[in-house]
Amino acid sequence: MDYKTKEYYRNEIKLISEAIKISELYIAKKIVEIAESKDNKKERHIGYYLISKGREELNNKLGVKGKKKTHPEQKVRRYIVFIYLITSLLSMLTAFFIYLGTKSIIGAIINFIILYIPISEVVIQIINNILNKKVKPCLIPKLDFEHGIPKEYSTFVVIPTIVNSKEKVQELMKKLEVYYLANKSENLYFALLGDCTSGQKEVEKVDNEIIEAGIEEVNKLNKKYNSNSENEIPKFNFLYRKRIWNKNEGGYLGWERKRGLLCEFNDFLINGNDKFRINTIVGANCVRPQKNIKYVITLDSDTNLTLDSGLNLIGAMAHVLNEPILDRENRVVIDGHALIQPRVGVNLEDSRKSFFAKVYSGTRRNRFLHKCYIRYISRQF
């Protein structure tokens, strides 16, 4: 486990010890004793009794009466419903007062629609600030992959996007190179999943140009970082989709667009079904990837994979408490996580690109805009 996870466990033991006045060493031994008596993989992990569903069992063994915890999904629902209720109430009150001043129903409705989003932003910011002070954050346990990713957790980092020119391919391959340099590790691979543009032909003239650029960039990067072994998956890869006829669109395009692109890539990893026009993974005569790849990190073309963030994501998914448990009959995850999304931020350069970005960037300028909205509301009265 990584240092933060171990520290989190130790702090939980400390808090229990302070609450019930029992030695930390006794509590730790009791946790180990309970874990060793179990057969289930998750229940044999000590974290299960400190930060997961086994906490109630630990409390019973220690004679502690604890409050029954609310399920995280219920908390999220309450949070969302509360925001919608407060936002709707404030928006309706604002529209009502505007109607009293102007006697215009249409004007009140227009103001309700215009002000709903800025009011919701103000409400969200206020509620989040209150929750940050009142609610204790819950850390997601992770394994420590600082020194490299084990083979059983081999991962692909992919950018699924429409590519319409060789310049676009070159730009995205440069991004993949930056992601590689920020997350250097064995058993971590990178691929540009190129989706074709829509057209009236199954094969367009621009396709050959894109494919040549993709293969050229992949070969250049693999040669630069010595990743040309025939016995392993190349570090950098390029895949390009086939067009199929779409009756509703009246043309040829990639099946189901971005969602279909990811589905076909997963199908290739799991079942070996290659539905791509160009696939440099297969072209390298390497071992079939479905035997090796455990996870896929999906990035948008405008998303960055910052320093060691890929290793942290894989470490989180690989931790025993986060492993997904499937109900195969109902086809749902009943425990753990099948998908995980990190915190998403906006860098300073992108936060100035548009008015929308300024509002949602979370910068100081955002506060200024909120003040402007409040002044606008006050003028309506």
Same domain, 104 and 173: no
Number of domains into which the chain is organized? 3
Query: How far apart (Å, rounded) are the C-alpha atoms in residues 237 and 265?
Result: 12
Parent domain of 96: 70-138+345-381
Residue that is last in its domain, among 22, 41, 62: 62
CA 17 from centre of chain = 35
Same domain, 215 and 356: no
What is the pLDDT tens value at each position of the chain, 381 positions in all?
999 999 999 999 999 999 899 999 999 999 999 999 999 999 999 999 999 989 999 999 998 875 556 666 677 788 889 999 999 999 999 889 888 888 888 888 998 898 898 899 889 989 888 888 887 778 899 999 988 999 999 999 999 999 999 999 999 999 999 999 999 999 999 999 999 999 999 999 999 999 999 999 999 999 999 876 555 789 999 999 999 999 999 999 999 999 999 999 999 998 888 889 999 887 544 445 456 899 999 999 888 899 999 999 999 999 999 999 988 888 889 889 999 988 777 777 776 777 766 666 655 445 554 555 445 444 544
Same domain, 52 and 169: no
Same domain, 75 and 46: no
DSSP secondary-structure letter at 379? H
Query: How far apart (Å, rounded) are the C-alpha atoms in residues 190 and 173?
Result: 9
Please tell me the pTM assigned to this model: 0.80
Q: Answer whether residue 242 is part of any domain.
A: yes
Same domain, 54 and 85: no
Phi, psi of 85 (to 5 degrees): -65, -50
Q: Answer whether residue 331 is part of any domain.
A: no
Phi, psi of 76 (to 5 degrees): -65, -45
What is the pLDDT at residue 206?
93
Query: How far apart (Å, rounded) are the C-alpha atoms in residues 113 and 39?
Result: 56
Residue that is last in its domain, among 31, 46, 62: 62
Phi and psi based region of residue 250 (left: phi greater than 0; alpha: psi -120 to 50; beta: remaining): left
Query: How far apart (Å, rounded) are the C-alpha atoms in residues 17 and 27?
Result: 7
Query: How far apart (Å, rounded) are the C-alpha atoms in residues 211 and 114?
Result: 46
Q: Answer whether residue 75 is part of any domain.
A: yes
Same domain, 184 and 236: yes
Beta-carbon count within 10 A of 275 CB: 17
Closest CA to 313 of 216, 172, 182, 208: 182
What is the pLDDT at residue 376?
45
Same domain, 302 and 366: no
Same domain, 92 and 170: no
* DSSP helix/strand/coil, 159: strand
Same domain, 250 and 198: yes
Q: Which two tokens stand for residue 281?
A: 């993974």
Same domain, 312 and 287: yes
Q: Answer whether residue 323 is part of any domain.
A: no
Q: Answer whether residue 332 is part of any domain.
A: no
Residue that is last in its domain, among 318, 334, 363: 318
Same domain, 355 and 302: no
Q: Answer whether residue 333 is part of any domain.
A: no
> 3-state SS of the chain: helix, strand, coil percent to 5?
55, 10, 35
Q: Answer whether residue 146 is part of any domain.
A: no
DSSP secondary-structure letter at 307? T
Same domain, 164 and 280: yes
Cβ contact 139:4 at 8 Å: yes
Phi, psi of 24 (to 5 degrees): -60, -35
In the numeric block, the tokens 């199954």 are attached to 202
Q: Answer whether residue 163 is part of any domain.
A: yes
